[in-house]
Amino acid sequence: MLSFMTRILIVDDFEDWRRQVHLLLQARPEWQVIAEASEGFEAIRKAEDLKPDLILLDFSLPKLNGLEASRRIRQLSPNCKIVFLSQNNDPDLVLTALSTGAKGYVHKTDAHSELLPAMDAVLRGQQFVSSSLKGCRFIASSTERALHRHEVLFYSDDTILLDRVTPLIAAALNSGNAAIVVATKSHRDSLLRGLKAEGVDTDGALQAGTYISWDAACMLSRILVRDLPDPVLFFAGFGGAIEAAAKAAKSERPEVVVFGEGVALMKAEGKVDAATRLEQLSTQLAETHIVHLLCAYPLSGFQNEEDECVFRNICAEHSAVYSQ
């Protein structure tokens, strides 16, 4: 796995506390504190100007509270991850803070033991709430998370890609579930041969509607508006296909496996913003459907220093990251 520097903004009105956080972060040399802010409006300005990867944000701030600051930062910099680091432990306020788009909430009394794990989790795209607050059930159970997966594979060659995707699709179809493939023609053809070699009745699945195979470039042309994925077109196209495939499936609680590499095509064409936006929409899709989404990118596309921010943003949108 590639290792990149993570840029952090600390927002708290107490200088002594900001100093303590600095000391905690020294344990992770790959984390770089790029700036500090002591009030809400300053935090918004620095977030917009500096584009940090992660913000540690206090709830109670002068001039503009952390809740409103989080909402505005998420609008201006949707790729930025936010962890609330606050003395407030009211469950309703914690839930409201997470509803702004923040991924983590650490009570200051738990910071010494839980801040670093919280940051790790949030940078992986997972939610984290302090253990002292977990009785209030802010985090989905492992069973619930398993029903709504959005994962990514960075692969070094096509053999590795097909060795990962073929058994995934085969298992879904053989168990009465459904699968959707959005890929290049060469990968779709190779996958079809691999599925047939494993004894999967692909002709029957295609006819029944439990196996849907789309050309990635063609699908992108249907959902892009001015080189960015349109949310309405995306959810109508992919959401509708998932619902149709689930309806055609035979299992009692059908899961739809989706393999897509449209994002990789956009990344290869230099359409980084479009690829990132598509990943964000896919995350939203995974939250509302019983799906296992697997995106794939060739590792050869992430060899330059200029790609490190893109790589981090992609990883942050996924519940699991694989590199082979």
- Identify the CATH number of the domain in which residue 32 sits: 3.40.50.2300
Domain count along the chain: 2
Same domain? For 91 and 175 the reply is no
Residues 22 and 156 in one domain: no
Which of 113, 139, 165 is at the close of a domain?
139
Checking if the pLDDT of 3 tops 50, the result is no
In this structure, are residues 69 and 57 in contact, taking their beta carbons and an 8 Å threshold? yes
- Split at pLDDT 50, 70, 90, the class of 19 is very high
Highest average pLDDT, of 167-171, 275-279, 318-322, comes from 167-171
Residue 259 and residue 158 in one domain: yes
Among 2-11, 29-38, 165-174, the minimum mean pLDDT is found in 2-11
Q: What is residue 302's predicted lDDT score, i.e. its pLDDT?
A: 82
Q: Burial level of 228, CB count in 10 A (0-12/13-18/19+)?
A: middle
Range from 148-162, 207-221, 229-243, 283-297 that averages highest in pLDDT: 207-221
Check pLDDT > 90 for residue 316: no
Same domain, 153 and 131: no
Q: Please, what is the average pLDDT of the chain?
A: 85
| Rounded Cα gap, residues 170 and 253, in angstroms | 18
Torsion angle of C-alpha atoms 3, 321, 48, 96, degrees rounded to 10: -130
Interatomic CA distance for residues 115 and 68, integer angstroms: 22
- Cα separations (Å) of 36 from 8, 111, 265? 9, 18, 37
Confidence of residue 147 (pLDDT cuts 50, 70, 90): low
Determine the pLDDT at residue 136. Answer: 53
Q: What is the pLDDT of residue 67?
A: 85
If one compares 92 and 299, the residue with the highest pLDDT of the two is 299
Whether residues 132 and 154 share a domain: the answer is no
pLDDT at 135: 53
Query: What is the average pLDDT across 208-229?
Result: 90
Q: Could you tell me if residue 30 is inside a domain?
A: yes
Summarised one tens digit per residue, pLDDT across range 105-144 is 999 988 998 899 989 888 887 788 887 775 555 544 444 4
- Is residue 89 over pLDDT 90? no
List pLDDT tens digits, range 220-266.
999 888 888 888 888 888 888 888 998 998 877 788 899 999 888 88
Question: 1 in a domain, yes or no?
Answer: no
Do 153 and 295 meet the contact criterion of CB atoms below 8 Å apart? yes
Residues 288 and 167 grouped into a single domain = yes
For the residues 308-315, what does the mean pLDDT come to? 78
Query: What CATH number has the domain bearing residue 301?
Result: 3.40.50.300
Interval 201-219 mean pLDDT: 92
Answer whether residue 2 shows pLDDT above 60: no
pLDDT digits (tens, 9 = 90+) for 179-199: 999 999 999 999 999 999 989
Instruction: Pick the last residue of a domain from 107, 139, 171.
Output: 139
299 shares a domain with 196:
yes
In the three-class reduction of DSSP (H, G, I as helix; E, B as strand; rest coil), residue 230 is classed as coil
User: For residue 38, is pLDDT > 80?
Assistant: yes
The answer to whether residue 210 sits within a structural domain is: yes
The residue segments making up the domain with residue 249 are: 143-323
